[in-house]
């Protein structure tokens, strides 16, 4: 059961990283919209974190599959497929010459991903708390059975 607690702690850290990366991309796009940053800097900053975001999300999805946690896997599988499809088509990076034309669509896409990652965060928090409580109850029962208390 301790391995399951480690799984949820790892998932907690990964989802926090995904939320941070999505929020960073959204902030870069908002800065571009309000003309605080130029298009080249904005697109290079966003493009620098796209691949790490895809990797963290894909590894987390595979980890849920390998540990037989079907509900989180089925929630994350469609966005993993979408990320793979974007990467295969070469449309995962933002083009500096077309960033203003695609700005509203990219912002909506990032807001939807941020909401998705927040919903995953709620599931991970719930499972982390229930797993840790069950682990503590199990250890307490083992201590009572062994006659320590």
Residue 101 has pLDDT above 60, yes or no: yes
pTM score above 0.85:
yes
Domain locations in the chain as residue ranges: 2-144
Q: Cβ(79)–Cβ(60) under 8 Å?
A: no
Which pLDDT belongs to residue 121?
97
Residue 143 has pLDDT above 90, yes or no: no
pLDDT in tens, 17-60: 999 999 999 999 999 999 899 999 999 999 999 999 999 999 99
- Return d(Cα 71, Cα 103) in angstroms, integer: 33
- Return d(Cα 93, Cα 6) in angstroms, integer: 33
Share of the chain above pLDDT 90, in %: 87
């Amino acid at each position: 059961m301790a391995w399951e607690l480690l799984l949820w702690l790892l998932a907690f850290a990964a989802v926090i990283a995904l939320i941070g990366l999505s929020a960073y991309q959204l902030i870069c796009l908002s800065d571009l919209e309000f003309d605080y940053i130029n298009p080249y800097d904005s697109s290079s900053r966003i493009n620098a974190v796209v691949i790490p975001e895809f990797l963290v999300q894909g590894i987390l999805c595979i980890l849920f599959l390998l540990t037989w946690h079907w509900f989180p896997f089925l929630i994350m599988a469609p966005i993993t497929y979408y990320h793979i499809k974007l990467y295969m088509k070469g449309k995962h990076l933002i083009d500096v010459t077309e960033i203003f034309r695609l700005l509203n669509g990219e912002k909506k896409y990032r807001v939807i991903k941020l909401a998705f990652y927040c919903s995953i965060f709620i599931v991970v928090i719930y499972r982390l708390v229930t797993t840790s409580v069950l682990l503590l109850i199990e250890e307490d029962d083992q201590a009572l059975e062994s006659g320590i208390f």
